[in-house]
Amino acid sequence: MSTERKTIRAVIRGRVQGVSYRAWTKKRADRHGVAGWVRNRPDRTVEALFSGPAEAVEALLAECRRGPFAARVDGIEVTEADAEGEGFEIRG
């Protein structure tokens, strides 16, 4: 496994609020060993920061493109970001 680290910011669009998307994302991030956070935004999108081994971040991002059962992901905008702390948290 590569030791390359990667940090991205993702904005997820679609039916992603009110469907447990944040809790689902935290579980997946913990499973992959990815640090960061996830939060709802006022425009009904979900924003997340993922930081960790590049392969784990990419695997988590791939899962986020599908989302939890009740979600409908229409698209994800991804940009590079700076790493923040350790662990993964759900924010506002």
Active site residues: 22, 40
For residue 27, give both structure tokens. 């579980």
Backbone angles phi and psi of 85, in degrees to 5: 55, -160
The answer to whether 7 and 49 have CB atoms below 8 angstroms apart is yes
Distance, CA of 16 to CA of 22 (rounded, Å):
9
